[in-house]
């Protein structure tokens, strides 16, 4: 697919309305790349003028900071802010709650001030403004789904409704897990846990969470974070019994329903 | 009451308040051992938090049944303490129910309210006691509470029941009264003659007020201190998004000067420490958090690491911080300044394994009814581990070097960052 970079836009003398911050998982992880492509497809179809940083994008520094490496975080933040400010970026949309949190809450203190939107809120807005048209044969209608709250979207930034509203717009049957919204249970990836072995315990966190999702007996498990997606997929795969529940990002659901 | 009684009451009251204020000052001094940070922005929002979180106990209502029982104890405590005013005035002047003639029929209404609350407090405390000792709720039988903390919790509940019973007995044995709850107790004392009744009433009166003084002086040593500190702790609660980590300006500047040396002021000194190894490296708010913790364990019950059997317990982080702070406070008192005792909060009170288990999910912060952030302490200790002690798991070191060299936590070629567009 053809996606413009900020460098190209600058060369053409155009300024896109929004920058799509892809994030490391969305760029490199094979599963997360599908989410990135789905979201880019939606942006194209909705007629949003957007661009990516492409090779100029770098890790926000979130996992380094949470692991305790403030130097590494500050280095990454410095570089990213130089680039973002250099392009005069005003508005950013991202499919990763960790990037979202860092860009929105932590970059302002370092001189990076942008309007930062998570893709679920962005999708909700597109749907409400009629920018997204669904196919007449809405295949998602009545399908059972449960939504896993990402900690960095939910508790960290109080976004609980946008992803649910998006699912409701497709008339899906939303089944809440035992712990949800502000009581939502972590997938186990945050705080740089994604990049190390879990400490010893009785059960893996992602297993515990996947079990809660399985208990809803929903056909689909919606995520809004590439890390949650990985953790839940593993949890479902390694669970005590084989289940057919599919872990899918909100953007992928919309991409499949859109004209 | 005789003059001797009045005098001894005044002396006892004086001693009780003196000892209590002395301990309050010790705690204040300990809290101020923390790093100075300014928390004074947006006063309106902060007062709103005091109103909602402390007075209104908003977070408690995440579990309505327990919240209502706790509300009985809390309202009972505050309202019945209004009666304390009369008790103290009676004690000093040697009078008996001094407010009665002034308040007329309102006096009965007031005491009846106190009595109903006293009964509700007794009921709630008995339920709370059973939740800990008979039903054995998971968060109350955790290893965090082994020993003194368990005793502390039960002691408080028992004291509350005893104090309230004394208050009711005092009213029941006062022959000239007929109050809503204590009148049901009066048949118990029917057969006693007037002087015995008088003696029981006086004894209950004394035990009640002495009990309250004892309770007051027990507070500074107990987890129960939250009844005071919940209020300032709500005022100083962070107002920013929970996801935002505290920025280290010193490191920010260090990076800035490395990138743009022309901005570096001459002779800029590096900070002495990165992150926290001991309580003095934490902020005073972190330390006030530690004294505000009532060890209820809602944080640990919601912690994904704790739930899955990892060593981490956010409640234990707070308890360890308070324990260490007490040790450091005593050390300073004995030696005039802190003398290295070969121990630190990090390693000796909180282990690396505990810190490593945290997913920074903020569940502990979201659950805490008194606005404590165990996460803040965990992250400050992690900073010290990584930046001062180069103590990180191998995988994390790999992640750091990937970010540094490949601009992503994984070892992918930066040139492939937009490879997804080609698929």
pLDDT band at A43 (very low <50, low <70, confident <90, very high): very high
SS3 content of chain A, % helix, strand, coil (to 5): 50, 10, 40
Q: Mark whether A20 and A113 lie in a shared domain.
A: yes
Average pLDDT, chain B: 94
Q: Mark whether A217 and A108 lie in a shared domain.
A: no
Q: Mark whether B212 and B75 lie in a shared domain.
A: yes
CATH of the domain at A215: 3.40.50
Query: Distance of CA A113 to CAs A88, A121, B332, Å?
Result: 10, 19, 45
Whether B256 maps to a domain, the answer reads no
A201–chain B nearest CA distance, Å: 4
| Total number of domains constituting chain B | 2
CATH of the domain at A80: 3.40.50.1860
pLDDT at A246 (0 to 100): 96
pLDDT at B1 (0 to 100): 54
pLDDT at B174 (0 to 100): 87
**H or E segment at A147?**
strand A144-147
Say whether B361 and A151 touch across the interface (CB within 8 A): yes
pLDDT digits (tens, 9 = 90+) for B233-244: 999 999 999 999
Q: What residues of B are in contact with residue A182 (Cβ under 8 Å)?
A: 366
Q: Mark whether B120 and B61 lie in a shared domain.
A: yes
Nearest Cβ partner for A69 among B359, B387, B416: B387
Determine the average pLDDT of the residues in A90-118: 98
- What is the domain range of residue B293? 272-406
Whether A63 maps to a domain, the answer reads yes
Q: Mark whether B221 and B134 lie in a shared domain.
A: yes
Nearest Cβ partner for A109 among B247, B392, B410: B247
**pLDDT exceeds cutoff 60 at A130:** yes
How crowded is residue A187: how many other Cβ atoms within 10 Å of its Cβ? 31
Q: Mark whether A197 and A156 lie in a shared domain.
A: yes
All residues at 6 or more sequence positions from A175 whose CB lies less than 8 Å from its CB, including other chains? A144, A145, A146, A216, A217, A218
Return residues 214-253 of A near B (CB < 8 Å): none
Return residues 95-114 of A near B (CB < 8 Å): 101, 104-106, 109-110
Place of tokens 């005593």: B330
Nearest Cβ partner for A196 among B396, B419, B420: B396
pLDDT band at A240 (very low <50, low <70, confident <90, very high): confident
pLDDT at B204 (0 to 100): 87
Rounded to whole angstroms, the Cα distance separating B271 from A70 reads 13
- What is the domain range of residue A96? 6-124
Taking 50 as the pLDDT cut, the residues of chain B under it are: none
Rounded to whole angstroms, the Cα distance separating A252 from A249 reads 5
Say whether A208 and B308 touch across the interface (CB within 8 A): yes
Say whether A208 and B304 touch across the interface (CB within 8 A): yes
Whether A71 maps to a domain, the answer reads yes
pLDDT at B62 (0 to 100): 93
pLDDT at A231 (0 to 100): 98
Say whether B384 and A66 touch across the interface (CB within 8 A): no
pLDDT digits (tens, 9 = 90+) for B31-63: 999 999 999 999 999 999 999 999 999 999 999
Whether B364 maps to a domain, the answer reads yes
Q: Mark whether A102 and A70 lie in a shared domain.
A: yes
Instruction: Report the residue of chain A nearest B253, measured CA to CA.
Output: A74
- Token digits of residue B342: 């070969």
Which pTM does this prediction carry?
0.95
Whether A245 maps to a domain, the answer reads yes
Nearest Cβ partner for A76 among B358, B398, B403: B403
Whether B249 maps to a domain, the answer reads no
Residue A1 contacts B, CB cutoff 8 Å: yes
Instruction: Report the residue of chain B nearest A189, measured CA to CA.
Output: B359
Say whether A105 and B243 touch across the interface (CB within 8 A): yes
Q: Mark whether A97 and A172 lie in a shared domain.
A: no
pLDDT at B268 (0 to 100): 65
pLDDT digits (tens, 9 = 90+) for A170-191: 999 999 999 999 999 999 999 9
Whether A129 maps to a domain, the answer reads no
pLDDT digits (tens, 9 = 90+) for B311-362: 999 999 999 999 999 999 999 999 999 999 999 999 999 999 999 999 999 9
Say whether A24 and B310 touch across the interface (CB within 8 A): no
Instruction: Report the residue of chain A nearest B356, measured CA to CA.
Output: A199
Q: Mark whether B215 and B312 lie in a shared domain.
A: no
């Amino acid at each position: 697919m053809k996606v413009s970079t900020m460098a190209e836009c600058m060369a053409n003398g155009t300024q896109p309305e929004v920058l799509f911050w892809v994030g490391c998982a969305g760029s490199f992880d094979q599963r997360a790349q599908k989410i990135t492509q789905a979201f880019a497809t939606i942006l194209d179809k909705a007629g949003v003028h957007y661009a990516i940083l492409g090779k100029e994008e770098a890790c926000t520094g979130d996992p380094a900071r949470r692991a305790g490496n403030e130097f590494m975080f500050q280095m990454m933040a410095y570089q990213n802010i130089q680039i973002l400010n250099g392009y005069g970026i005003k508005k950013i949309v991202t499919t990763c709650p960790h990037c979202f949190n860092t860009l929105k809450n932590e970059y302002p203190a370092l001189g990076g001030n942008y309007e930062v939107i998570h893709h679920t809120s962005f999708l909700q807005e597109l749907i409400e403004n009629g920018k997204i048209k669904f196919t007449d044969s809405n295949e998602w209608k009545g399908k059972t789904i449960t939504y896993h709250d990402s900690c960095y979207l939910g508790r960290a930034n109080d976004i609980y409704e946008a992803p649910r509203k998006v699912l409701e717009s497709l008339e899906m049957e939303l089944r809440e897990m035992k712990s949800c919204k502000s009581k939502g249970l972590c997938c186990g990836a945050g705080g740089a846990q994604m990049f190390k072995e879990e400490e010893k315990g009785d059960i893996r966190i992602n297993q515990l969470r996947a079990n809660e999702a399985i208990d809803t007996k929903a056909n689909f498990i919606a995520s809004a974070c590439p890390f949650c997606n990985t953790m839940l997929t593993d949890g479902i795969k390694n669970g005590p019994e084989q289940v057919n529940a599919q872990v899918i990002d909100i953007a992928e659901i919309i991409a499949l329903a859109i004209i | 009451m005789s003059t001797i009684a009045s005098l001894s009451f005044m002396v006892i009251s004086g001693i009780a308040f003196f000892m209590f204020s002395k301990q309050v000052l010790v705690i204040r001094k300990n809290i101020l051992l923390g790093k100075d940070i300014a928390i004074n922005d947006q006063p309106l929002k902060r007062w709103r938090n005091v109103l909602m979180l402390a007075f209104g106990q908003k977070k408690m209502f995440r579990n309505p049944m327990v919240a209502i029982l706790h509300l009985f104890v809390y309202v009972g405590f505050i309202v019945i303490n209004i009666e304390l005013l009369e008790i103290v005035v009676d004690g000093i002047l040697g009078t008996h129910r001094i407010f009665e003639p002034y308040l007329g029929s309102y006096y009965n209404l007031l005491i009846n309210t106190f009595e109903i609350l006293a009964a509700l407090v007794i009921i709630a405390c008995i339920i709370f006691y059973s939740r800990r000792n008979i039903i054995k709720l998971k968060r109350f039988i955790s290893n965090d509470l082994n020993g003194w903390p368990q005793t502390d919790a039960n002691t408080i509940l028992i004291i509350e029941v005893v104090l309230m019973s004394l208050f009711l007995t005092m009213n029941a044995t006062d022959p000239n009264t007929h109050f809503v709850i204590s009148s049901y107790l009066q048949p118990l004392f029917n057969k006693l003659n007037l002087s015995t009744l008088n003696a029981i009433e006086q004894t209950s009166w004394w035990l009640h007020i002495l009990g309250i003084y004892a309770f007051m002086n027990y507070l500074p040593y107990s987890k129960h201190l939250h009844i005071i500190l919940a209020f300032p702790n709500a005022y100083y609660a962070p107002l920013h998004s929970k996801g935002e980590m505290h920025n280290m300006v010193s490191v920010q500047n260090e990076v800035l000067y490395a990138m743009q040396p022309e901005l570096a002021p001459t002779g800029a000194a590096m900070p002495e420490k990165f992150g926290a190894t001991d309580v003095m490296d934490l902020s005073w708010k972190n330390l006030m958090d530690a004294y505000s913790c009532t060890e209820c364990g809602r944080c640990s019950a919601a912690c994904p690491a704790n739930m899955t059997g990892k060593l981490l317990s956010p409640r234990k982080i707070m308890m360890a911080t308070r324990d260490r702070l007490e040790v450091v406070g005593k050390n300073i008192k004995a030696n005039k300044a802190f003398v290295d005792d070969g121990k630190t909060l990090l390693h000796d009170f909180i282990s690396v394994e505990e810190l490593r288990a945290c997913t920074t999910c903020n569940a502990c912060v979201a659950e805490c009814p008194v606005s404590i952030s165990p996460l803040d302490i965990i992250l400050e200790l992690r900073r010290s581990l990584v930046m001062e002690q180069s103590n990180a798991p191998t995988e994390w070191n790999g992640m750091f070097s990937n970010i540094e060299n490949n601009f992503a936590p994984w070892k992918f070629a930066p040139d492939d960052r937009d490879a997804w567009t080609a698929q």
